[in-house]
Amino acid sequence: MTIQPNSIEARDKAYQLHSYTNARALERDGSLVIDRGEGVYVYDNNGKKYIEAMAGLWSVAVGFGENRLVEAAARQMAKLPYYHTFTARSHGPSVELAEKLIQMAPVPMSKAYFTNSGSEANDTAMKMVWYRSNALGKPEKKKIISRIKGYHGVTIASASLTGLPNNHRSFDLPLPGIFHTTCPHYRVFKQEGETESAFVERCAKDLEDLVLREGPETVAAFIGEPVMGAGGVIVPPAGYWEAIQKVLKKYDILFIADEVICGFGRTGKMFATETFSLEPDIITVSKQISSSYQPISALLINEKVYQPLADESANIGTFGHGVTAAGHPVAAAVALENIAIIEERDLVGNVRALAPKFQSRLKAMESHPLAIEARGTGLIGALELKPRDGFAAGELGPKLLAVMLEKGLISRAIGDSLALCPPMIISESQVDAVFDLFEDSLNAFQKQLSA
């Protein structure tokens, strides 16, 4: 792409550092500038139309350009554009949203606590776990176990929980006291001749062995996404979560369910905690809570977590944690309206209705000569490309992504896996359009590689 002087692309590369981007490549090639959105589509600044098959970043449940969310933001902006929730202050939208979240929680929860992003929510979960251990007179019980390929954010603490090398390299992470156990990706991590059920048993044993090696009295919590998102859309094998939770209960280890990607309908239930019969002590949510129209996230904590926190705040005189925009009235108002839309339009039902077609078409692409595995559940999935001579691991995915963009389909390359997570408003014909473009892209890429 030729970048014209003084164009928005030229100004972007001159002034902005981008997340998850090779800065030198951006200087050379520029960025894709998205100008507007409508439903499952977005348009770049040159007017080209794309199907946004990643819902932005796994997040725009109700689609782009939803006027009800715009109006909810405008009404609240006019009434009370900002207020905080520090020092026993509150406001209507944060109260209503906290009440709604506790009422709709998939397992009994006591309180909601607001932050601005999934990273902040998981960072706060770590602090709450440490605070609670001190409150219980167990200062040694601070270690937290995550998983290889898990993704929990990019703040110093949450990036430590994340189990992806590029989130640690040159950042001097992870922090001490954070450990990563086996990833539940059967094809990649199975041993020779190991059945799926034997693999599940080994995952649980690996976790238990880690707990025993560190000392159960020192391990405070385990965090996991019900379905791994940014690690490559990894759906755990049958029985995995039952086996993992058995270990956690045995050693009195808190369970943090990271529902930042899965929550609010993505797997065909309102929460993936229901899909996989989980019993977490803390649930973190973000993204689809507001369809990312406004930045907001929340932690839902049960009584087992809340009561020691409350006691310690009384001992100290305060719960000394918070961020300026936590429970922001405009963000909370938009989240409430977004949840209302999800419920009124039965978007979770739409996910259930379309999931068989979505997963069937995804699975069919597994037979393509370039593919090695299709993975997914509900309206989330990924297709992984086969390793190929002459290409380093992680090199093929971005090249296929470029072909997809050219054809008008937005995906995300996670190494050599191409992820899909469309808005939950997507129709049956639009699901077909996504996979038609995906298949066209695969075929075009195959010709490109053979040329």
Q: How far apart are CA 55 and CA 64, in angstroms?
A: 9
Q: pTM of this prediction?
A: 0.97
Which residues share a beta bridge with 257? 224, 283
Spatial contact of 435 and 251, defined as CB atoms under 8 Å apart? no
Burial annotation 291-305 (CB, 10 A radius, 16+ → b, else e) = bbbbbbbbbbbbeeb
* Phi and psi torsions of 161, nearest 5°: -70, -35
Q: How far apart are CA 334 and CA 386, in angstroms?
A: 42
pLDDT at position 4, please?
86
What are the mean pLDDT values of the chain's consecutive 10-residue runs (451 residues total)?
A: 86 95 94 97 97 98 98 98 97 98 98 98 98 98 98 98 97 98 98 97 98 98 98 98 98 98 98 98 98 98 98 98 97 98 98 98 98 98 96 96 98 98 98 98 96 81
Contacts of 8 (CB under 8 A, 6+ apart): 33, 45
Q: How far apart are CA 80 and CA 70, in angstroms?
A: 15
pLDDT at position 1, please?
62
| Topology given in CATH for the domain delimited by 32-62+346-450 | Aspartate Aminotransferase, domain 1 (3.90.1150)
pLDDT at position 5, please?
87
Q: Are 32-62+346-450 and 69-344 the same fold in CATH?
A: no
Q: How far is CA 345 from CA 268, 339, 356, 407, in A?
A: 14, 10, 20, 31
pLDDT at position 259, please?
98
Contacts of 356 (CB under 8 A, 6+ apart): none
Q: Record the tokens describing residue 263, joined without a space.
A: 């929550």
Q: Record the tokens describing residue 96, joined without a space.
A: 């209503």
Q: How far apart are CA 136 and CA 103, in angstroms?
A: 28
Instruction: Return the C-alpha torsion angle 402, 360, 420, 102, nearest 10.
Output: 180
Q: How far is CA 40 from CA 30, 55, 430, 440, in A?
A: 24, 7, 8, 19
Which residues share a beta bridge with 420? 381
Spatial contact of 66 and 423, defined as CB atoms under 8 Å apart? no
Class of domain 69-344: alpha beta
What are the domain boundaries of the chain? Answer: 32-62+346-450, 69-344
* Phi and psi torsions of 39, nearest 5°: 65, -125
| Cis amide prior to 174 (ω within 30 degrees) | yes
